[in-house]
Structure 1
C-alpha cells in the first residue's frame, strides 16, 4: 500500500475538478487528482460537447433544406448519421488534450486513475494508494437518473452516456423527459431525419419562463416533433422491434428507439462519505455557502453539491475553492448571476429572476423592459426574427433577464456581468454596440426601459421647451 501526503486532493476530473487542480498546482500547491473513469468528465464525453456537436450537424442539415428565403434553392440533405457521430467524436478528440492526464501531469499534478473512497475524515483510498490531504475537493459530478418505470428493465434504452456511441439512426426516437437534454436531442434527431416524440410528465422546459418556452416549443412542433406534456410514463414494453410507452392518462406512444432524459443524480455511491462524516441529502452532498461540507476539511463543487447543474457552475465553484482552500480568503457562493442556456433553435437563456419570481419579490415596484428580435436589423437580414428579451428591473438595477432567440446564449453573458457587478440599466444604455449586430438587442432593451421615462415625461418636455426658448 502506497501512502501519499498532499496539500490538496481532488476527487473527480470533470470540469470543476480539473479547474481546481490546474489552478492550485500552478499556484504552488501539491495536488493529487483522482479519476476512475474518463478525464474531462460528463461535459466533454457525454454532455455539453457531444450534444452541441450533434446539434451542429442537425442545424447544417436543416438550413440546407431552408435556404429559399435567401434566394438559394432548397436542397434535401443527404444525412449520414454515422458520419455525424464521427463529427461528434472528432470534436471530442480535439478538446481531449486540454483535459488529458498527460497535460495535468505536465503541470505537476499527480494523477491517479482510480476511484476514491474515504477511509477517515482526512484519508482517501484509491486502489492501492492512501492519500492524506490538508483539504479535499469532491467534484464527482452526476449521472443520468433512470426512474424505475415498470417494464423498462426489459427494454433497450439510451442515456446521454450511451447515445453518442450509437451509429444506427433511430427511425422513431421516443424521448422520456422534456428538459434541456431531451429537447436538444429531439431537435437534433428530427433535423437529421428521425421521427421524434417527447414524453414529459409535467411541462416541457418547465424551469424557464413560460412565455419564452412557448416560442421554442412552437418551433419544435413546427419542425415535426411531437411533444406530449403531462404524460407521466407508467409502463414501457417492446414487441417486434416496437417500443411502447404508456402514460398515466391513458395515452400510448410507439417508436423504435428510446432515450431516457429525465434528470440527473449525484455521483456519491463510491465515496463512502459516512467514513468522513459528510452529510448528504437526495440532491447530493450538503454544503454551506462556502461549499464546505459537514467535514470542514472537505469541499464539494459542481453537480455533486446539489445546486445548479451546469458545467460553468462547476468552473465558478472552482474559482471559489482556489480562493478559500489555497489562499485562506473568504469565498461565498451566490447564484443570482449564474446564467443558463438551452441550445435549441431558437436558443433559450436565463439569468437571475424570471418575471414570475421577480413579481412575487418586488410587486408593483418591478419594471419589465422588453424588446422583440423582429426590430433588430441584423436579425431581419439573417431571417432570425423569432424571439424576445425581457429584463426584470428593480430600482434601476436588473435582477433577471430572459431571452429566447438567435444567440440567446451569447446575449445572456452581458446580463450576467451586469448582475454580478451590481450595475444598473444606465450602464447598459451607455454601451455602444456595433451596427448591425444581434448584440444590439441588449442595448435596445435598456432603451426600452428608459424610453417611457424620457419620451412620456411632461416635466422633461417642459424643461426642453424652456431651454430651447432661452438658447440663442
Structure 2
C-alpha cells in the first residue's frame, strides 16, 4: 500500500473540484485530485455542455421552418439525429482539453484516476494509495434520480447520462419531469422532429416564478409540445418502442422512448463518510456556512453539499473555501446573489427572491416593476417580443429579478452583479445601453421604477413650474 501526504485532497474532478485544484496548485499548495470516471464531471460530459449543443441544433432546425416572418422562404429541415449527436460530441471534444488530466498535471496537480473512500477521519484510500491531507474537499457532484415507479426498471429508460448515446431519433419521446432538464430536452427533441409529451407530477418549471414560467410554457405548448401537469406517474409498462405511462388520475400516455428527468441526487454513497464522522441529510452532505462538514478537516461543495445544483454554484463554492483553506481567512457562502437560467426558447432566468418570496419576506415594503419585451425595439426587429422582466424592489434596492424572454440568461448577468454588490435601481438607471439592444430591457425596467416618481408626482411638477417661471 502506497502512502501520500498532501496539503489538499480533492475528491471529484467536476466543475468545483477542478476550480479548486487549479487555484490551489497555482498558488503553491500541494494538491491531489481523485477522479474515477470522466474529467469534467457531469457538466461537460452529460449536462450543461451537451444539452446546449443539442439545443443549438434544434434552434437551427426551427429557424429553417419558421423563416417566412423574416422574408425568407420556410423549408422543411432535413434533420440527421445521429449527425446532431456528432455535433454534441465534437463540442465536448473541443472543451475536453481544458478539463483534461494533462492540463491539471501541468499545474502541478497529482491526478489519481481512482475512487476515493474515507478509511478514517484523516485518511482516504484510492486504489492502492492511502492519502493523508491537511484539508479534504468532497466535490463528487450528483447523478440523475430515478424514482421507484412500478415497472420503470422493466423497460429501457433514458437519463441525461445515457441520452447522448442514443443515435436513432425517438418517434415519440415521453419525458417524466417538467423541470429545466426535462423542458430543455423536450423542446430540443420536438424541434428536431420528435413528438414529445412531458409528464409532470406537480407544475412544470415549478421552482420558478409562476407568472414567468407560464410565458415559457405557453410558447412550448404553442410549438406543439404536450405538457401534462398534476400527472404523477403511477406505473410504466411496455417494451422498447412501445411504452406507456399511467398516472394516478388514470391518464395513459404512450410513446416510443422515455426520458426520466425528475431531479438529481448527491453522489455521497460509497464514500465511507461514516468512518470520517461526516453527517448527511436528505439531499446531501451537512455543511456550515463556510462549507465545512461535521469533520472540520473536510469541506463539501457543489451538488454534493445538497444545495443549489448548478455548475456555477460549485465554482463559487470553490472560490469561497479556497480563501479559508489556503489563507486561513473566514469565508461564508450565500445564495442571495446566485442566478440561474433555463435555456428553452424563450429562456427563463432568476436571481434573488421571486415575487412570492419577496412578498413573504418584505410585505408592504415591496414594489414590483415589470417591463414587457414588446416595447423593446430590438426584440421587435428580431420577432422576439414574447417576454417580460420583473424586478422586486425594496427601498430602491432590487432583492430579486425574474426574466422570461429572448436572452434571459444573458440579461440576468447584470442583475446578478447588482445584487452581489448591493447596488440600487438608480445605478441601473444611470447605465447607458447601446441602441438597439435586448439589454435595454434592463435599463427600461429601472426606468419603469422611476417613471411614476417623476411623471406622476405633483411635487416634481411644482418644482419644474417654479424653475421655468423664476429661474432665468
TM-score band w.r.t. shorter chain: over 0.9
Q: Distance in 2 between matches of 1:435 and 1:423?
A: 24
Q: Please list, as runs of the form range in 1=range in 2, the aligned pairs for 1:69-468 lying within 5 A after superposition.
A: 69-239=69-239, 241-468=241-468
How many Å apart are 1:327 and its aligned residue? 0.8
Deviation at 1:239, TM superposition (A): 4.4
1:216-264 superposed Cα distances (whole Å, 9 cap, x missing partner): 1111111111100000001000147310000000000000001000100
Partner Cα separation in structure 2 for residue 266 and residue 372 of structure 1: 38
Check 1:59–1:471 CA distance in 2 against 1; reply closer, same or farther (3 A cut): same
SS of residue in 2 equivalent to 1:56: helix
The 3-state SS of whatever aligns with 1:321 is helix
CA distance in 1, matches of 2:7, 2:158: 40
1:321: how far off? 1.4
CA–CA distance in 2 between the matches of 1:385 and 1:278?
A: 51
Could you tell me whether the CA contact under 8 Å between 2:347 and 2:407 is conserved in 1?
yes
Count of residues in correspondence between the two structures: 472
**CA distance in 1 between partners of 2:130 and 2:403 (Å):** 49
Shift of 1:365: 1.1
The SS at the match of 2:235 is strand
Q: Look up the SS of the partner of 2:244 in the other structure.
A: strand
Alpha-carbon displacement from aligned partner over 1:304-361 (angstroms, at most 9, x marks no partner): 1010000000000010111111111111011000000000000000000000111111
Asked if 1 retains the 8 angstrom alpha-carbon contact of 2:180 and 2:205, the reply is yes
For the residue of structure 2 that corresponds to 1:299, the secondary structure is strand
> Whole-Å Cα distance in 1 between the matches of residues 305 and 22 of structure 2?
20
Do the aligned partners of 2:347 and 2:408 also contact (CA within 8 Å) in 1? yes
Secondary structure of 1:119's match? strand
Partner Cα distance (2:459, 2:269) in 1: 66
Counterpart residue number, 2:43: 43
Given that residues 341 and 348 in structure 1 are in contact (C-alpha distance below 8 angstroms), is that contact kept between their aligned partners in structure 2?
Answer: yes
- Whether the 8 Å CA contact 1:115–1:270 is kept in 2: the answer is no
Moved more, 77-86 or 213-222: 213-222
Deviation, structure 1 residue 471:
2.4
* Cα distance in 1, alignment partners of residues 459 and 116 from structure 2: 69
Partners of 2:59 and 2:191 within 8 A in 1? yes
Please give the TM-score of this superposition, normalised by the length of structure 1: 0.99
- Residue 6 of structure 2 contacts residue 31 of structure 2 at CA under 8 Å; is this kept in 1? yes
Summarize deviations over 1:69-123 as a string: whole Å, max 9, x none: 1111111100000000000000000000000000000110000000100011111
CA RMSD between the two structures: 0.7
- 8 Å contact from structure 1 (residues 350, 401) kept in 2: yes
Gaps of 5+ in 2: none
Structure 1 residues 106 and 239, CA gap change in structure 2 (3 angstroms) = closer
Deviations 1:143-199 (A, max 9, x none): 000011101111001000100111010000000000000000000000000000000
1:122 and 1:455 map into 2 onto residues whose CA distance is 66
Q: Which residue of 1 aligns with 2:6?
A: 6
8 Å contact from structure 2 (residues 156, 239) kept in 1? no
TM-score, reference length from structure 2? 0.99
Checking the alignment, whether the CA contact within 8 Å between 1:61 and 1:191 is kept in structure 2 is: yes
Q: Does 1:17 align with 2:17?
A: yes
Q: Are the equivalent residues in 2 in contact too, given 1:159–1:261 (CA < 8 A)?
A: yes
Matching of residues 25-36 of structure 1 within 5 Å: 25-36=25-36
* Consecutive unaligned residues in structure 1, runs of 5 or more: none
Q: Which moved more, 1:230-239 or 1:171-180?
A: 230-239
CA distance in 2, matches of 1:425, 1:239: 56
> Quick check: 1:182–1:198 contact (8 Å CA) kept in 2?
yes
